[in-house]
Each structure stands twice: as C-alpha cells, then as structure tokens.
Structure 1
Amino acid sequence: MKIVFFDTDRITRDYLHDKKMCDCDVIYLENSIENTDPETYEKIKDAEAISVFVHTAAKMNAETLDKYPKLRLIATRSTGIDHIDLEYCKKRGIEVVHVPKYGEATVAEYTFGLLLNLSRKIIEARNDMKNASVHINDYLGFDLYDHTIGIIGTGAIGRHVAKLARGFGMHVLAYDLYPNEEFQRIYNIHYVSLDELYAQSDIITLHAPSTKDNHHMLNDAAFAKMKDGVIIINTARGDLIDTESLYKHIVTGKVAGAGLDVLENEDFLLHDDIIIKDQDIGLDFAMNTIANSKLLQHKRVIITPHIGFNSIDAVHRILNTTIKNIEAFFAGKTQNSVLGVKK
C-alpha cells in the first residue's frame, strides 16, 4: 500500500522519517497536490491514502482526486475540513479523517498574542524603535483587566480563550448555538445573545467553524451594534468576516484594531503561484482582494498567515494523531472519521 504526504516541511519530514506506518510505502512531498510534476505523479498515482494540510491551495474535489483511482483515504492534518469536497468523497467511497483536537491551548495563546500586540501597540513601538523614530505618546494602550471579551463559539478553543481571559481578570461573555452550562458555572462566564455580545464587548474574538449560516456574520449590521473602538480578533475562518465591511469600520474608527490570522480568500495571499481561471473572477472576489490588500497596509491591523496552530508541540500532536488515523483505517478500525464511509 502506498501513502503520500503532501505539503510537508522539514519539521514534518524529520519527525515522520523513522515512524512506521502499517508497513506501507510512504512518500513525503514538499509540494501541494496540485503542483505535482508529471514524473512524480507517475510514482504516486496508485496511492491508496494521501495526507494533506489545510493550507493546500487545491480543493480536494473531483478534478483533483479523479487522478488517483485507487484512493481510499484522505487524512487531513487539520481540524478543519472545508478544503475537502465531502460529498464527492462520500460518492466515491473515500474515507476522510481529521485531527479533532490538537491545540486548543496553542490557538488560544496565539489569540492573546494578537490581542496583546493590539492593546499595547507592541509592533508599532518595535517598528519605530528600529527606525529610530520613537514617540512614546503614540503607544498609549489599555489594560485587559476589567475589560469585557466576547467569545463567539465555545468549542475547545473558545473555552480555553475564556480560561485565559479569566486569568487576565476580564469579564467574559459568550455566544454558542449549544451553550455549555457546566463550563459557564465553573468559570463564571455568561452566555448571551449575539446582539448582547456585540453591544457589551470591548473585544470580540471568533472561534466558530465556517458554515453557510454564519458566512459574513460580522457585517455592516453587526458592526453597527458594537461599541465604538471595539477590537476584533479572528483565528477561526476568514469568511466569518465581511472583509470590505471590516476595512470600512477600521477607517472610521468604529473598530479600533483587528488581529487576523485568517482572511477570506487567504489562499491568494499565501500562494502566489495560483492560476486564477477567468470564471473565478467576479466583482465580489475583486473587491475582497482589494480590501485584503488595504487591511495588510493598515497600522491598526495585524495580519498573520494562518499560523495560530503552529507550535512545535501542536505540530507533533497533529502528526501523531494523523499516523494513528492512517494505521487505524488500514487495520479496519477507522477513527476520527468525518464521513463514516463503509468498506
């Protein structure tokens, strides 16, 4: 059996090199699946399992996966699965497994890294120091203590953010479709409606998955309900925020700052080798791309390239779970399935 790992960096290859995976032929490729050259493709086209990363520029859909006729398993090294066409996989009988839990502390800590950089203007001060142009009064920040943070989504990451916030002495509001009553009681957080969260929060941080129902949940109507000078943090999914609307409210000062580890259409910023087909280009895409570019240049916005997960500890947990997922599948004991394909 042949397993191909795409999107591997040196850390991934070094860590996996001596790992045995069900006595399979394992191939590690640095490139993403869509950048496979013809010679390499001939060596891997009979793969029964592939492992990809959430940063892959290609959508795991029919166009991509039809090239692998023997494929039985996609093991994504991520919690998110929105880069995979699940309906196509279900039709073809391809199992999809993911890493449901690896880094709630990792992403939560990164969330506060973004927040502290904004609240204390650390990057701005550092850049001015480098340029020998320091103006102390420009770096007046605010304490997190006694401020109110609103957490949208209280899954594993959102709950860990709440724990850290309580450690900073913050008041914690939360919104979730399925409130965790025990967590609310133990950590003294308060579940409220979205409108209440918007109106009462000094900081709003997103920790929800991307669905058709919450697409652009932070839009003109939502921003209008927020406090003047609100801080926005997003380490979840880019399309939760209407980028054009966010930029507009940054400019007016309604939003005092934003820390974004994810952006809508971020692939086109992360991968400069993507070829855009004519039919993919529309007014919405063009306007979003312009807004992203403007946000990148704004001094009250911090944008990072989707690295909230990226600590050595979390990466090792991801890889260990991926190995176990692959081994379990080929042993007939599938775990962490998102489809439950019957074999």
Structure 2
Amino acid sequence: MVKVLISDKLGDDAVRILEARKIEVVFNPDLGKDPAALKEALQDVDGLAIRSATKMTAELIEAAPKLKVIGRAGIGVDNIDIDAATAAGIAVMNTPFGNAVTTAEHAIAMMFAVARKIPQADASTKQSKWEKSKFMGRELFGKTLGLIGAGNIGGIVASRAQGLRMKVIAFDPFLSEEKANDMGVELVSLNELLQRADFISLHTPLNDKTRNIISREALEVIRPGAFIINCARGGLIDEDALAEALDDGRVAGAALDVFAEEPAKNHPIFERENVVVTPHLGASTREAQENVAVQIAEQIADYLLTGAVQNALNMPSVTADEAPKLKPFINLGEKLGSLAGQLVDGAITGISVRFAGHVSELKAGPIVSGVVSSALKPQLATVNAVNATSLAKDRGISITEEKTETSPNFGSTLTVKVETANGAFSVTGALFGGEPRIVRIGDVRLEASLAPNMLFVINEDKPGFIGALGDVLSDAKVNIATFNLGRQEAGGEAMALIALDQELSDDTLRAINALPQIKRAAPLKF
C-alpha cells in the first residue's frame, strides 16, 4: 500500500483526499520540528506533504530510500534541497497559485496599515491615550503605486489598487507592453519607478538579480516620503539601509511581512514608529491554507498512483513510456533556453522552438516547456517545466512551435529564438552521443559543448584578440577548459563560447570588457 507522511499542519481535508484514494496516511503535524524523529519516520514512506516547518535537507532526503515525491503546500520551496531531491529521483511539487489572492490582499492591507498608522493608533487607544492628532495618515486615492514584479500576485495587487483609484506603474523585465496595457499598468524602469511611486510594493522572487533590489543606492533616489511594502521575500531590501532611510525621512514608512532572516526577533527595525511588521502572514488565511492543502494532496495522489505530474519544480510533465526518448531532447532544449535567457536584454515578448529531423516526430510539449522554463528562469525563480507556458501567457509572451522533417547536417536539431523589445536572439543545438551541443548562434556556425561556467564573447575578428583575452584570464588564474570560435567572414564580427574551470569575478569580467576588440562579454551558468 502506498504511504504518505504529513509532517506539518496541513488540515483534515488533505488526509481525507489521500485516504479516499486508498493511500495510507501518517499524520504527525509536529514531526517537522524534530529532524531526528522525522529522519526515522521517512524510512518507509512513498510521499511527503509539508509546509514550511519541515526542512528537507540533503541528509533527510538521503535517509528516505522509498520517497518518490515531496509536496509543498504553498509556493516557497526554500526548505527543500531540490538538487538533492533531483539527484535522488524525487519529484518536488508545490502549489504556486493557491495563495496568490491571499498574499495580494495582505499587501493591500499592509499598505493601508502603514499609511493610516493603524497598528500604532490601535495600541495607543487600547492604553486609553486617545492621541487623535498624533496619527495623521495618508490617503491611497490618487496616489501612484509602483510594483516591482507584476506577475500573478503583483497583477492581483494592481487590480485591487486600481479599484482604490490608484495609478499603477510597474518594473518587470518579463512583462510585455501588450500585457501591461491589458492590465492597465504603465511599464517603467526601476529608477523611474523609485522616483515616481508614492507606494512601492515588491512582488518578485529572490534570486541573484533581485537580492537587495531596494538597495542603499535605490533608497538615495527614491521619491521623498514614499512608503515601502514587502510581502514577497526577505532579502529583497537592504534592511540596514532602509532603517537609515526611515530615520532621516526619505522613506515615510515601511510595512514588512518578510525578513532576510526568519524568524525575525529583536530586529532593530522594530524600534521605528513608522514601521508595521507581521510574522510572514502573506499566505495565512483559512481559505488559502485549505486550498493549498487540497491541491498538494491531489497532486501527490495523482503522481503516486498514476504517474501524472503537476507543478513539479524538477521534472517535466511526461509519461513513463515517453521519458527515454524525450529526456535527451528536453535536456538540449533546457540548455538552449538557458543560454538565450541569460543573454537576451529586455522584456521577452516571444519564444519559438523549431524542431528539425527525427525530433519533429516526438511530443513537443515537454521540450517546449523545458525551453520556456529555462529561458524565463533568470528572472522567475518559481518557474518550472510545468507552469512555464502559463506564466509566459500571463505575461503576454507568445510561444510558437515549428516542425520540419528534414535536418540537412544532423539527424535532429532544435532552434530556439527569443524575441524582446530590443531584438531577437537565436541558438541551434544538436545531440552528439546523447549530449547537448551548440552548433549555431544566430548566423554564426560554431560547435561547443556546455560546461557549468562559460564565457560568451562577441569581438572584432582581429589578430591578437585571443592572446589578450588569455592574458586577462591568466592574470586572474582562470583556466580555459575549451575554446570554441565562429565567424561569418574574415575581419568582421567573431563569436566564442569558452568553458572555464571556475566562475569569473566581477573585476575579471570588467577587465575582459575593457579589451579594445570586445563588443560584448557575458558569463553563463549551466
């Protein structure tokens, strides 16, 4: 009999759904707080349903020999070692849209609370002080709301704010002008948003590009007297810099539901009177908790009983019969999408995938999902092969497929083209011995294997360039693993994909870009 462990507070509905599908359920909602006991309980379970209290580390994953699926009721999976789960062949699923309305509503509530000083006035009044003149507030009507991130949750916040007669502007590199127009949102640069917005609300995932997006430098150009609301992720704001901006009046107030380190206790920012804080309550409504609990129970049951995959973060939607044929092409598509996604500039408006040769006979959906997921990954941490196309659709990004039965130079090729407002970028790949290989970038032919750390270069095709580049890398003690060159004509523009044995430092990258022959140099991670 299939067995599922619930180690966090998930609710009776989840238990009933699993038991109705003839699945044995072990319901121990406090087990996630005791890693030693959890390790023992994981020995003989096929599935695990959790919230945020259970921390599925590599050690716990290794101690679960039968585990096939981990289901997170909610969107955040920071408490799961996804790499370790993937290596162990364990599917990791979440419920990315179950608490969107709840989180959006909390952001609106926090906006009202900080603007009208409601928590402070409540505490004062309960002490019988009746300090009416002390708590002069601000209206939301007619003000400008700046959204940093206008995806699913940000879009709901925009709709609610428009109902309050606020003007909404947004910074979101992955939102097209067409989709923004449909939402009634004006797309602007981050700098313009900071300078224009009366209220700034963050709705973006935490990754290398968004960490401390509200930085000390950002706070220096922010519109004086603005309010900042963060119900997304801790780490998006430089909290020390925010404290200083609150003290000197550049920021009128802040409403924070998330912090860089949680649980946040004795945090210095708590001492400010113009700050409203809550303990990560964005998804904490009865309706949202019930929704995500029901969804994850159904997803786990479907996966364990039928092999169906929904909202998986580490595997595409594909049947057992299709997997052996599709897997290498899914891998190729992911690498091509990742390369394009890391190199394009500006909001993506379209992604097309061209299937040539034998691959045109295979199921396209999982391959396209892998391409789109990887192309969007640099900006959307929660994107995966299952939800990639729907997220793209939400942002007005067109997804197209083209198939041809012939591939002149190879048995099969995939060509990925990514379009932005600033132009288009295309890359073609093929399989060599089952491994992905780049065979063309744009109109330039070159043959390159992919490595974890790479450097992409466009340069003037002139003598001495390779030597100059080699000198910079040598000085930085960075070793070249492979060096792959291509060009259209002698003396024109050349292109290179260079595999490196380690990451480039910012200083080394600046030195490379300073070389006179360089037109562009960008690091790549695979």
Give the shorter-chain TM-score range. 0.7 to 0.9
Map 1:154-173 → 2, pairs under 5 A: 154-173=150-169
Look at both structures and tell me which one has the larger radius of gyration over its CA atoms. Answer: 2
CA deviations 1:46-99 (Å, max 9, x no partner) are 11211121x3263x2312322212211110111122222222122111110110
Are 2:271 and 1:315 aligned? no
Are 2:256 and 1:260 aligned? yes
Conserved 8 A contact 1:32-1:56: no
Letter in 2 for 1:181: E
Return the structure number with greater helix share.
1
Runs of 5+ consecutive residues of structure 1 not aligned to the other structure: 270-291
Q: 1:92: which partner in 2?
A: 88
Q: 1:339: which partner in 2?
A: 314
Mapped to 1, the partners of 2:162 and 2:184 lie a distance apart of: 8
Conserved 8 A contact 1:150-1:205: yes
Mapped to 2, the partners of 1:32 and 1:215 lie a distance apart of: 32
Mapped to 2, the partners of 1:323 and 1:26 lie a distance apart of: 11
What is the Cα deviation at residue 139 of structure 1? Answer: 1.1
What is the Cα deviation at residue 141 of structure 1? Answer: 0.7
Are 2:17 and 1:24 aligned? no
What is the Cα deviation at residue 202 of structure 1? Answer: 0.7
What is the Cα deviation at residue 41 of structure 1? Answer: 5.1
What is the Cα deviation at residue 120 of structure 1? Answer: 0.9
Letter in 1 for 2:7: F
Farther-moved stretch of structure 1 (12-21 vs 325-334): 12-21
Q: 1:282: which partner in 2?
A: none
**Which of 12, 33, 48 is 2:46 aligned to?**
48
What is the Cα deviation at residue 238 of structure 1? Answer: 0.4
Q: 1:13: which partner in 2?
A: 11
Mapped to 2, the partners of 1:215 and 1:17 lie a distance apart of: 37
Are 2:252 and 1:251 aligned? no
Indicate the SS of the match to 2:92: strand
Return the structure number with greater strand share.
2
**How many residues get paired?**
315
What is the Cα deviation at residue 36 of structure 1? Answer: 4.6
Letter in 1 for 2:72: T
Map 1:114-153 → 2, pairs under 5 A: 114-153=110-149
**Which of 259, 268, 274 is 1:300 aligned to?**
274
Mapped to 2, the partners of 1:81 and 1:319 lie a distance apart of: 15
Indicate the SS of the match to 1:101: coil
Letter in 2 for 1:15: D
Letter in 1 for 2:239: T
Q: 1:238: which partner in 2?
A: 234
What is the Cα deviation at residue 42 of structure 1? Answer: 4.0
What is the Cα deviation at residue 268 of structure 1? Answer: 5.6
Farther-moved stretch of structure 1 (176-185 vs 314-323): 176-185
Larger relative contact order, structure 1 or 2 (CA cutoff 8 Å, min sep 6): 1
Conserved 8 A contact 2:18-2:301: no
Q: Structure 1 residues 268, 112: CA separation in 2 closer, same or farther (over 3 Å shift)?
A: closer
Mapped to 2, the partners of 1:235 and 1:338 lie a distance apart of: 22
Indicate the SS of the match to 2:280: coil
Letter in 2 for 1:295: I
Conserved 8 A contact 1:13-1:28: no
Mapped to 1, the partners of 2:143 and 2:254 lie a distance apart of: 17
What is the Cα deviation at residue 323 of structure 1? Answer: 1.4
Are 2:204 and 1:208 aligned? yes
**Which of 174, 186, 189 is 2:185 aligned to?**
189
Q: Pairwise CA RMSD of aligned residues?
A: 1.9
Q: 1:113: which partner in 2?
A: 109
Q: Structure 1 residues 29, 182: CA separation in 2 closer, same or farther (over 3 Å shift)?
A: farther
Percent identity between the aligned chains? 29
Conserved 8 A contact 1:155-1:207: yes
